[in-house]
């Protein structure tokens, strides 16, 4: 705001001055427009401070939902970089643009008709063979996933390895935004994990036993008892329940074995 404008609106100037003394303000550029925001904020908080109301491109705020993919460039650097807006802290004169949705190709399929055959994923995503092994995807990944290696595993038909390598993928799409081959790695990985979970990993036998017990009404009486309990008592029971310790071994059992 110029001196002339401040004279026109002294109240606004006073508020701005108060904000400046509360925290050191640094300049950043959001979608090409300059703002002064308190240093130390994440990109997401800085955008909100600047007046943006985020109804897309914002979810968990904790680095796990993948909704807040952002592109930025630092002054004097030609290189475009990517980050999660809820995790990356602002730096002076950063140029920022959010990509809350990336229109990557997502194959359509009837999952029930898919098998664990090695070619199952690359039949649906034949473009994976356009990969030129540049490794830009791996460098872009905020989860530290070996994205290129997971793509290579899929090309070799190794669905289990692709599922294992991509286990921490949060579907942010940042790998895709940097891909020379225009691959939608995260959609391919999601399919690999679905196939792995449903068709490759052995069934948990104890789970089948528990489902059978539930269906046969083994727990109906306990649930009916809980339904009769008042809310405060229910909270107390919940808080005092015996929880499995973090370091429990495979053979851990609760003292009260009625529900097993
Ligand atoms: S693999 Fe891609 S979509 Fe998944 S977390 Fe990494 S950059 Fe994001
Ligand atoms: S960015 Fe694309 S082309 Fe480059 S290694 Fe990753 S998947 Fe392959
Ligand atoms: S808001 Fe969920 S990862 Fe950033």
**CATH level 3 topology of 111-200:** Fumarate Reductase Iron-sulfur Protein; Chain B, domain 2 (1.10.1060)
Residue 222 has pLDDT above 50, yes or no: yes
* Ligand 2, pocket-test mutation among 82, 166, 173, 181, most atoms within 8 A of CB: 181
Q: What is the pLDDT of residue 16?
A: 63
Going from the Cα of 57 to the center of ligand 3, the distance in angstroms, rounded, reads 8
User: Are the C-beta atoms of 9 and 17 separated by less than 8 Å?
Assistant: no
* Ligand 3, pocket-test mutation among 54, 82, 86, 89, most atoms within 8 A of CB: 86
Q: Which residues pair with 28 in a beta bridge?
A: 35
CATH top-level class for 3-98? alpha beta
At 123-142, the pLDDT tens digits run: 999 999 999 999 999 999 99
Average the pLDDT over 171-195 and give the result.
Answer: 97
CA distances from 180 to 72, 131, 185, 228 (A): 19, 7, 12, 61
**Could you give the angle at which helices 185-195 and 147-155 cross, rounded to 10 degrees?**
60
Two tokens at 88? 């990356």
Average the pLDDT over 230-251 and give the result.
Answer: 92
d(CA 21, CA 217) in angstroms, rounded, equals 65
Residue list, ligand 1 pocket, CB within 6 Å: 66, 140-141, 143, 145, 147, 169-175, 185-186
Residue 186 has pLDDT above 80, yes or no: yes
CA distances from 67 to 61, 75, 86, 98, 102 (A): 9, 26, 9, 10, 10
Q: What is the pLDDT of residue 260?
A: 82
Which of 3-17, 157-171, 181-195, 226-240 shows the lowest per-residue confidence on average (mean pLDDT)?
Answer: 3-17
Banded model confidence at residue 2, pLDDT cuts 50, 70, 90? very low
At 19-36, the pLDDT tens digits run: 555 689 999 999 999 999
Average the pLDDT over 138-164 and give the result.
Answer: 98
Going from the Cα of 69 to the center of ligand 1, the distance in angstroms, rounded, reads 10
Q: What is the 3 state secondary structure string of the chain? A: CCHHHHHHCHHHHHHHHHHHHHCCEEEEEECCEEEEEECCCEHHHHHHHCCCCCCCCCCCCCCCCCCCEEEEECCCCCCCEEEECCCCECCCCCEEEECCCCCCCCCCCCHHHCCCCCCHHHHHCHHHHHCCCCCHHHHHCCCCCCHHHHHHHHHCCCHHHHHHHCCCCCCCCHHHHCCCCCCCHHHHHHHHHHHHHHHHCCCCHHHHHHHHHHHCCCCHHHHHHHHHCCHHHHHHHHHHCCCCCCCCCCCCCCCCCCCC
At 60-91, the pLDDT tens digits run: 999 999 999 999 999 999 999 999 999 999 99
Q: What is the pLDDT of residue 17?
A: 62
Nearest Cα residue to 178 out of 147, 212, 219: 147
Q: So where are the chain's domains?
A: 3-98, 111-200, 207-235
Residue 3 has pLDDT above 60, yes or no: no
Residue 166 has pLDDT above 50, yes or no: yes
Banded model confidence at residue 185, pLDDT cuts 50, 70, 90? very high
């Amino acid at each position: 705001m110029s001196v002339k404008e401040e004279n026109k609106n002294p109240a606004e100037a006073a508020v701005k001055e108060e904000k400046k003394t509360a925290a050191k303000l640094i300049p950043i550029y959001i979608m090409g427009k300059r703002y002064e925001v308190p240093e130390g904020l994440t990109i997401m908080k800085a955008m909100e401070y600047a007046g943006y109301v985020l109804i897309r491109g914002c979810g968990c705020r904790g680095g796990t939902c993948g909704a807040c993919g952002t592109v930025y460039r630092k002054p004097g650097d030609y290189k475009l970089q990517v980050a999660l807006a809820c995790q990356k802290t602002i730096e002076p004169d950063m140029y920022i643009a959010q990509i809350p949705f990336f229109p990557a190709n997502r194959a359509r399929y009837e999952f029930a008709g898919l098998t664990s055959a090695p070619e199952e994923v690359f039949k649906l995503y034949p473009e994976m063979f356009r990969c030129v092994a540049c490794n830009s995807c791996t460098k872009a990944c905020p989860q530290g996933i070996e994205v290129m290696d997971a793509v290579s595993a899929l090309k070799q038909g190794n669905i289990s390895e692709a599922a294992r390598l991509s286990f921490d993928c949060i579907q942010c799409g940042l790998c895709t935004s940097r891909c020379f081959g225009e691959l939608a790695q995260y959609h391919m990985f999601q399919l690999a994990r679905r196939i792995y979970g449903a068709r490759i990993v052995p069934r948990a036998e104890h789970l089948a036993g528990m489902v059978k017990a539930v269906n046969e009404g083994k727990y109906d009486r306990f649930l009916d008892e809980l339904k009769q309990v008042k809310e405060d008592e229910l909270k107390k029971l919940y808080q005092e329940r015996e929880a499995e310790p973090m370091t429990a071994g495979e053979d851990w059992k609760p003292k009260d074995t009625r529900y097993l």
